[in-house]
Structure 1
Amino acid sequence: MGEAKRRKEALGDKYGQEQTILPWLPITKSQAQMFYKWTTTGAWIGIGLMVAFWLIVRIIGPGFGWWQVQ
């Protein structure tokens, strides 16, 4: 308990608040983690759509007579 009291006295009003990534950037660590999660998910969705489009153009399309590949 002594360490927590010393930390609370040292931090003052900032005690219990989330830390920011950089002092001059008002983004908290939890916001950065959420951004990372969303961008990773978006990247995987984009990769999946690109693979699906490639399958349609390269394999399924020529079978139906679309986009003659030579």
Structure 2
Amino acid sequence: MGESKRRKEALKEKYGQDTYILPWVPITKTQAQQFVKVSGQGAWYGIGFLILFWVTIRFIGPSFGWWQVN
């Protein structure tokens, strides 16, 4: 508990606020974590869409006469 009190006294009004990744970049560490989470989720959605698109073109399309595969 002593260390927490010393840190609170040293930081004063900045205590408990998010810190920036770099002083000249206005992006907090929490925002960076959210970006990584959202972009990772978006990548998985993109992979799923790509697989669905490939299955449609490769298997379903030729059965309807679209894009004839020789």
TM-score by length of 2: 0.85
Aligned to 1:52: 52
In the alignment, the residues of structure 1 paired with residue 67 and residue 10 of structure 2 have an alpha-carbon distance, to the nearest angstrom, of 69
In the alignment, the residues of structure 2 paired with residue 65 and residue 2 of structure 1 have an alpha-carbon distance, to the nearest angstrom, of 75
CA RMSD of aligned residues (A): 1.3
Given residue 10 of structure 1, which amino acid in structure 2 is its aligned partner? A
Aligned positions, number? 70
Deviation at 1:40, TM superposition (A): 0.7
Deviation at 1:4, TM superposition (A): 2.0
Deviation at 1:11, TM superposition (A): 1.8
Aligned to 1:32: 32
In the alignment, the residues of structure 1 paired with residue 51 and residue 66 of structure 2 have an alpha-carbon distance, to the nearest angstrom, of 18
Deviation at 1:50, TM superposition (A): 0.7
Deviation at 1:37, TM superposition (A): 1.0
Give percent identity, aligned residues only: 64
Superposition pairs for residues 1-70 of structure 1, below 5 Å? 1-70=1-70
CA offsets, 1:17-53, max 9 Å, x none? 1111111111111111111111111111111111111
In the alignment, the residues of structure 2 paired with residue 47 and residue 69 of structure 1 have an alpha-carbon distance, to the nearest angstrom, of 23
